[in-house]
Amino acid sequence: MIDLNRIGALVAERREGHCLPQGLYNGAEAFEFDMTAIYGRSWIMIGFECELPKPGSYLSEMIGTWPILIVRGRDGEIRAFHNSCRHRGSILCQPGSGTAPKIVCPYHRWTYDLDGSLFAAMRMGEDFDKAEHGLRQLHLRQVSGALFVCFAEEPPAFDDFAEKLEVYLGPQRMENAKLAHHSVISESANWKLVMENGRECYHCAIGHPELARTFPVGVKKHFDADGDDRLLAFLNTMTEHDLASEAIEGSWWQLARFALNPDVVTLSMTGQHVVGKLMCDHNDGYVGSMRLAIDPHCFMHATADHVFIFSAMPVSPTETHVFGKWYVHKDAVEGVDYDVESLIELWTRTNLQDKELAENNQRGVNSPGFVPGPYSAEAESLALRFTDWYCDTAQAYLAHVA
């Protein structure tokens, strides 16, 4: 049982402009609260429709400790369900992806059709009503090929975000994409420490020397041009090519397109395209990076040749699984148009470096001498924004259940 008064006191204890109190980074109650109040009431980006290419295709994912199942039906529609059998709750499909004509529980063989309706349940008696035992659905929204789910009965407003994302992500043509690689890294750190690290580049020049070759690690907030002629010229060129680039944000999301370092066309070890067939061929593939960030869990960078998604999922108070997904044009041929190792090397190195930083952060936060410190207004504005959002969302939930 979560002591909401204790959680409320911790949230109220946080000083403006500072990181969180210790108990919100390592407490068991805080972890349970975060699953219910944060992940349970937010839109979560799962991936893209291209991962479900035909009827019967499914994705089995864990949202923190909660299993979900996303299925493309025979009618072509994509639906999201709780991955829990309506008999005795067994997980229906283990985490991963695949294709099946029906969804069959491995425990007692209850069988569901692709629309979630119960097809067959052996030995249940004449008074058993199959119509009452279909899979429980989750809210699902699709925008420019991206898939979002939400557990809440009344999810956060989505339409304004969807309209904006369509403009920014549409030119990437994700309907013509395919998943080229995915990875999972287990980090011994609270999910909020993982996300704070992912929301700032204060550490990047030293912590990520490879990323710093291509990524503008010294920029402020939403990659502000600040009168820089090169950056202003880039933004003007994007406008000429009908590519949205203005940094915009809602309460739980951010969008921007920004210039990479000089003579750099993509986020790779060399700064040059690592996929021969481009996804976005505007301006001969010089389109910088389109960044999407969603609270509580992810960011995405879409360059001309590929798309990368980072997603953080809580496992325990001090463990987080970081998922990485790389997408390329569906017609790009592995070994001809791209090499997987070259495609994933930059972000894999970066994620492993961040794992070490986050785990070191967690060990220090656990110290009895830990006192929350202030964020740099210049270098950590997005980390501060994330923590402000977390506190606002937590307080809204506490008020809702009071």
Tens-digit pLDDT profile for residues 262-317: 999 999 999 999 999 999 999 999 999 999 999 999 999 999 999 999 999 999 99
Which residues touch 41 (CB under 8 Å, ≥6 apart)? 150, 151, 152, 155, 156, 393, 397
The yes-or-no verdict on residue 224 having pLDDT over 90 is no
The tokens describing 344, both together, are 């994933």
Q: Does domain 174-386 have CATH number 3.10.580.10?
A: no
Which is it for the CA torsion 274, 280, 281, 282, positive or negative? negative
Please state, for a pLDDT cut of 70, what percent of the chain lies above it: 99
pLDDT at residue 285, rounded to an integer: 96
The arithmetic mean of pLDDT across residues 317-344, rounded, is: 98
Report pLDDT for 227: 78
Start-to-end CA span in the chain (Å): 15
Q: What is the pLDDT of residue 220?
A: 74
Domains of the chain, residue spans: 53-137, 174-386
* Mean pLDDT score of the chain: 97
Mean pLDDT of 1-12: 96
In the predicted structure, residue 226 carries a pLDDT above the cut 80: no
List, for residues 112-170, the tens digit of each pLDDT value.
999 999 999 999 999 999 999 999 999 999 999 999 999 999 999 999 999 999 999 99
Token pair, residue 341, equals 């190792």
Q: Of 3-12, 112-121, 129-138, 217-226, which range is least confident?
A: 217-226
The mean pLDDT of 63-81, rounded to a whole number, is: 97
Q: Do the Cβ atoms of 149 and 44 come closer than 8 Å? A: yes
At 402 the pLDDT is 84
2.30.30.40, 2.102.10.10, 1.20.140.10, 3.40.50.12640: CATH of 53-137 = 2.102.10.10
pLDDT digits (tens, 9 = 90+) for 171-205: 999 999 999 999 999 999 999 999 999 999 999 99
Predicted confidence (pLDDT) at residue 334 exceeds the cutoff of 90:
yes
pLDDT of residue 303: 98
Residues 359-370 have pLDDT tens digits of 999 999 999 999
Per-residue pLDDT, averaged over 36-64, amounts to 97
Which residues have CB under 8 Å from 104's CB, separation 6+?
92, 110, 111, 112
Confidence of residue 214 (pLDDT cuts 50, 70, 90): very high
pLDDT over 80 at 223, yes or no: no
Joined together, the tokens standing for residue 346 give 């930059």
Contacts for 391 with CB less than 8 Å, ≥ 6 apart: 11, 14, 20
pLDDT at 3: 95
Name the pTM for this structure: 0.97
How many alpha carbons fall within 13 Å on the CB side of residue 170? 11
Strands annotated E in 73-153: 78-82, 96-99, 103-104, 111-112, 118-120, 137-143, 146-150
pLDDT at 228: 87
